[in-house]
A and B are shown apart, each in its own frame.
Chain A
Amino acid sequence: MPKKIALGVLCAISLSANNTALEKRVELLEKKLQELQIQNTQAKYQTRSSSFSQNAYLPDIALILNMSSIARNIDNTQYENFAIPGFITTGSAQLPFNKNRGFNLNYAELALHSVVDPYFEAFAMLHIHPDHTAIGEGYVKTTSLPYGLGIKAGKFKSSFGRINAKHQHAWNFDEQPIIYKALFGPGSIGDMGISTQWVAPTDTYVMVGVELLQGSNKRSFGNTQKNNLTVAYLKTSLDITQNLSTLTGISFARGKNLFGGDTDIYNVELTMQQQFNSYSSLTWQSEALYRKRQNIATDAKQAGFYTQLVYKYNKNYATGIRYDGIVKNSVDDLQKYTVMAQYHPFPMSRLRLSYSYDKTKVIDGSRKNIHTVMLTLNIAAGAHGAHDY
C-alpha cells in the first residue's frame, strides 16, 4: 500500500510541476521501493536444520502394515506342504506371507533411516511377524567417498537382479516370482556382508557392484563356514525418448552349496517404462535366472523367468499381468499366471485385488492347479518413502 500512496503523491507533484528533475526522482524512488520489496521478500533468513529430514535429529521412521484376505481352492494344511518339483520339497516351503485362506496379518515393519555423521548413514528394517521378529536389514552406507564409490556393510538385500533388493510391499504383485521363490525362498538374497558400488562418470548411467556375502541362503548356497558368496552386477540405463526409459542389468552370484560344490546363478533383467503423464505409465519388467550347481545328480542346471506388464492409469488406479515360467528343470511345464488391480486412495495406502492360476505346485504327491483370489491392504505411515524407479 505505501507504494501506491507514495506514487499518488509523487504523481500529483509531477503533474503540477511537470519537470524532468522530478521525473528522475520518481524513477529513483520506484527503484528504492523495488529494492525494499526484494528485501522484504528476503525477510528473515530461516535456519532450518535440513532440507530432507522430517524430524530434526530423530531418524526418519516409517511404519508399514501388510495384511490380506484370501480365497483358495486348497485347504490351508495342504497348501503349507506344497512342493515345487526340482526346487522345493514337501514341507520345506517357507510361507511368511499370505499363507492362509481367510485372514492374514503378514507383517508390521519399522523402517528407520538416519544420517549418522558427514560420512555415514544408517538404515534398519525391523520385520515384525505375528510369531517372530527379525532384522530384515540393518546396515551403514558411506556418503562421502570419492570417485563415485559407495560402500555398505551389515545385513542388506543384495542388488543382484531387479526385484531382489525390493521389499515385499514395494513389489507390483503380492507374491514373489516363482523363480525367485524356487531359487532363494521368500527372503531372496538378503545376507550379511559388504557391498561396493561404483557409478561411472559417463553421460549414460553405468553402475557396477561387487558384494561379499556370508552365503546363508540355504536353497542355493548355505555353506557358511566362511564368507562363501560373491555377487557381481552391471546395470545401465538408456532413455530412448524423454518419456521412454530403460534399465538393463546382468548379475552373477557364486557361492558354496550344502553339497560341497559351487552354485553359480546368472541373471539378466530388463525394465522399460513409458510415461504418459505425471501419473500414468506403462512398465514392462522381466528377469531370467539360470542356476548351475556342482555335486548334484539331478537338476544341476535349471532356469526360469517372469515377465510383467503394469499399467498405471492415474494416481489412484493401476493394473497388471504377470507370467511366470520354469523353462529348464526335470519337470519343465511349470507356469503361473497372475492379474491384479490396485487402488490407492492416498499415496500411503494401497488396496490390491489379484487372481492367480498356479500350475507349479505338487500337493499330496500329485500336481494340483491352484486358484487364489487375494485382497491385500498395505499401509505406509510416517516418513515419506520416496518413489523408486
Chain B
Amino acid sequence: MKKLLLLLVTNLALFASMQIDTTYSTLGAIAKKVGGDFVKVTVLGSNKYDPHFIVPKPSLLAKLRRADLLIINGGGLEIGWLPPLLRNAHNPKINEGSLGFLDASQSLELIDKPTTVSRAFGDVHAEGNPHYITDPYTVPIIAEAIASRLAQIDPIHKFAYKQNLQNFKKEWSSFLTQFDAKMAQCSTKEVVQYHELFNYFLKRYNIENIGTIEPLPGIAPSSKHTLELIMLIKQNKVKKILQDVYHERKTAQFIAAKTGAKVVVIPHDLGAVGGKTLEDFYNNIASKICK
C-alpha cells in the first residue's frame, strides 16, 4: 500500500505541469518552447490590445492566483495594469523578488533611455524603450533566462529544460541566418511609426525611424504635429508608415494620402496580425516593412 502511494506521488510529481503566466503572447511562445510538455502557459494580455493598457479583468486574478512562474516584459510596460492584479491575487510565489517572478527585460539592455524624465514630455518610458521583443535576437536570451529559472523552480525536469533550450537555440540560430539574409535584401531604409514600438527591429537592421505619428508618447496625434510629420516624410522620401493593430488608423491613412507612403499594419506581439509561431511573427514584420 505504502509503495503504491509512493508510486502515485512520484508519478504525480513527474507529470505535474508548471503553470506559467506571461503578460504577452511572444513571451508565452518562448516559454512554451523552453518548458515543452512540462509547462502550461497562459497569456494574460490580449495581443489585439495596447500592451500599455491591458484591461485588468478580475478573471486575470484567478490566473495569477495559481501561477508557479510569472514572466513579465518589464521596462515599465506593465506598470499601468499589472501591479494591482499582482497585489490582489495573493500568490506569494510570483511576487516581485520571488523565484516565480521573472522580468525578461533584466537580461537585456534597453535602448532610448531618456536623460530627463518628466510627464511634460508625455507618458515616457522612464527606464528606456520596453518594446524589445520586435528584435529576433532577444528571443534566445529570453529563452535562456526562462530555462535557468525553470530549472530552479522545477529541478526534477532541469535536464529536459536544458535540452529544450539547446534544441530551440539551434533552431533559432538557423532561423536567424535565413532571416538576416532576407533582411539584407530589404530596400526600405526609412520609416515612420505610430508609437516607438519597432525601434529594436529597426536598429538591428539599420532602418531609420524618421518620426512618430503620436506627438509625444501616449498623446493622441495633433494636426500641427501631423503636418510636420508629412513634411519630414516628403523630405526623407519615406515609403512606409508602420501602423499597429490597436491605434486608430485614420491619421496614418491621411498621411499616406498626402505623401504617397504606404500604411502597413505590423504585429507588435505574436498573433496580433495572424500567424501562430515565433517565426511567423518576425517574418510578418519583415515582409510588411520590406515589401
Contacts and interface: CB of A to CB of B under 8 A. Distances in A.
A205 B62 contact: yes
Given A41-B137, A386-B83, A278 B107 contact: no
A298 interface: no
B58 A242 contact: no
Interface string A301-314: 00000000000001
B135 interface: yes
A57 B62 CA distance: 30
A70 interface: no
Interface in A4-63: 30-31, 34-35, 37-38, 41-46, 48, 50-52, 54
A279 interface: yes
A118 B82 contact: no
A31 B173 contact: yes
A239 B109 contact: no
A105 B95 CA distance: 39
B204 to A, nearest CB: 9
A201 interface: yes
Contacts of B53: 278-279, 387
Contact of A278 (B49, B92, B96, B123): B49
Contact of B79 (A48, A148, A386): A386
The 10 closest A-B pairs by CB, nearest first: A237-B58, A278-B50, A205-B62, A144-B92, A43-B109, A150-B90, A245-B57, A278-B49, A51-B103, A278-B246
B152 interface: no
Nearest to A51: B103
Contacts of B58: 205, 235, 237, 245, 247, 389
Contacts of A389: 55-58
A52 B141 contact: no
Interface in B46-80: 46, 48-50, 53, 55-59, 61-62, 65-66, 72, 74, 76, 78-80
Contacts of B2: none
Q: Most B CB atoms within 10 A — which of A45, A203, A278? A: A278
A41 B176 CA distance: 14
A124 B79 CA distance: 20
A366 interface: no
B220 A118 contact: no
B287 interface: no
Given A199-B62, A275-B55, A149 B141 contact: no
Contact of B108 (A42, A121, A149): A42
29 contacts: A38-B141, A41-B135, A42-B107, A51-B72, A51-B74, A52-B78, A121-B87, A143-B87, A144-B95, A145-B92, A146-B92, A148-B90, A199-B65, A205-B59, A237-B59, A245-B57, A273-B57, A277-B49, A277-B246, A278-B49, A279-B53, A281-B55, A347-B123, A381-B119, A384-B80, A386-B56, A386-B84, A388-B56, A389-B57
B177 A387 contact: no
A141 B103 CA distance: 24
A314 to B, nearest CB: 8
A384 B119 CA distance: 11
B137 A199 contact: no
A113 to B, nearest CB: 9
Given A239-B59, A273-B57, 15 more contacts: A41-B108, A46-B106, A52-B96, A143-B92, A146-B92, A148-B91, A205-B65, A245-B57, A275-B49, A275-B55, A278-B50, A314-B220, A314-B248, A346-B123, A386-B80
Nearest to B218: A347
Contacts of A51: 72, 74, 76, 78, 96, 103, 105-106
B47 to A, nearest CB: 11
A383 to B, nearest CB: 9
B277 interface: no
A198 interface: yes
B173 A34 contact: yes
A199 B61 contact: yes
Interface in A256-309: 273, 275, 277-279, 281
A204 interface: yes
Interface string A190-232: 0000000111111111110000000000000000000000000
A149 B110 CA distance: 36
Q: Most A CB atoms within 10 A — which of B62, B97, B220? A: B62
A278 B180 CA distance: 33
Interface string A242-261: 10010100000000000000
A277 B66 CA distance: 28
